[in-house]
Amino acid sequence: MASDTPWLTAHEEHVWRAWLTLNARVNAALHRELQDDADLSMPDFEVLVHLTDDPDGRVRVTDLARLLLWERSRLSHHVTRMERRGLVERVECPEDARGAFVAVTPAGRSAIGHAAPGHVRAVRRLVFDGLTGEEVDGFGSTVDKLLARMTDTAGPAGASDAGTCA
Amino acid sequence: MASDTPWLTAHEEHVWRAWLTLNARVNAALHRELQDDADLSMPDFEVLVHLTDDPDGRVRVTDLARLLLWERSRLSHHVTRMERRGLVERVECPEDARGAFVAVTPAGRSAIGHAAPGHVRAVRRLVFDGLTGEEVDGFGSTVDKLLARMTDTAGPAGASDAGTCA
DNA sequence: AAAGATTGATATCTCAATCTTT
DNA sequence: AAAGATTGAGATATCAATCTTT
């Protein structure tokens, strides 16, 4: 390893490793939870969260990709698979024939409705229970600060902002 | 959604979403960094970190899987691919003919040596620069607390502890 | 039979084309 | 040509067998 690189301090190294490990464990636990409860993967769940957040239950492909921080091609493949399972469907966009919506189906709503309570319980149990209000606050503001600093530094493509179809 | 589930508070929900987003962005940035610098993926890098941490540069398959929080089968496939690229090699275990070591090759050491400085710089830039010492401390102890609480709750298989071959 | 590890089939992700509409 | 989206090929991940040694 090159000798002129400022290395992480022992404490930082520890924090960094702990962060990586914590993430892996949280993801694994939530994955199992969703799988057992509703036969959904985490990506499935994320997609459904954003679709059901919309009043009309449908979001333009590019917008959804931006919300998810995914590449459009990944989303397209994923939608194809979820469509095959009846969880979502593609809907043509009247105002722009190039575009398309992804829309939740009743089955999709049912699936996330079935999954959400257990998922929320798991997030609570894994992340928030046992932390003091002070800790949650400090944790949150630190995460926010980190996030704010990199908002325009990373992430695949900062696409347009067309909330509606046009 | 069922009505008797204690939902996340607005603040917790915010923290949780921020956490997910931050992770996605950090991972994406580090991925690009490693890819550009040394043609390594994050999983490649993680494997090499644990191998080069060992004095002999080799670790038993099951132990490595535990360190990585991976399933053995994933590791086996990954080792096959890394072996094909000359980064690691499989070594028979003399004391237990069932077992095997994964060992770094000189090319593997060279690759991680080439990747490490940029990677460390990126971690510093993304996560630690701009945080006060207090914030880093608070962040670290919170992450530690979370991690400690779930140590035996999650993760694929808490395997044996054979550090050496036997 | 249990432990250590690998294999094969399938699902998913990534990257570079491709296709259509603007 | 640029924007919106999809496709196909190759890489990686997951899950359930399988194989060998203890």
What would the pLDDT profile of A28-83 be if each residue is shown by its tens digit?
Answer: 999 999 999 999 999 999 999 999 999 999 999 999 999 999 999 999 999 999 99
Three-class secondary structure of residue A88 per DSSP: strand
Beta bridge mates, A103 = A58, A89
Q: What pTM value is reported for the model?
A: 0.89
**Dist CA B73 CA B24 (whole Å):** 25
Closest among B32, B31, B79 to B59, alpha carbons compared: B79
Q: In what order do the strands lie in the sheet with A100-104?
A: A58-60, A100-104, A88-92
List of chain B residues whose C-beta atoms are within 8 Å of the C-beta of residue A146 = 22, 126-127, 131
Render pLDDT for B72-116 as a digit per residue (tens, 0 to 9): 999 999 999 999 999 999 999 999 999 999 999 999 999 999 999
Let me know: does B82 contact B68? Beta carbons within 8 Å: no
Nearest Cα of chain A lies from the Cα of B94 at a distance, in angstroms, of: 31
Distance A112 CA to C13 C1' (A): 23
Q: What averages of pLDDT result for each successive group of 10 residues across chain B (166 residues)?
A: 71 93 93 93 97 97 97 98 97 95 97 94 91 92 90 47 38
List of chain B residues whose C-beta atoms are within 8 Å of the C-beta of residue A16 = 123, 127
**Dist CA A138 CA A144 (whole Å):** 10
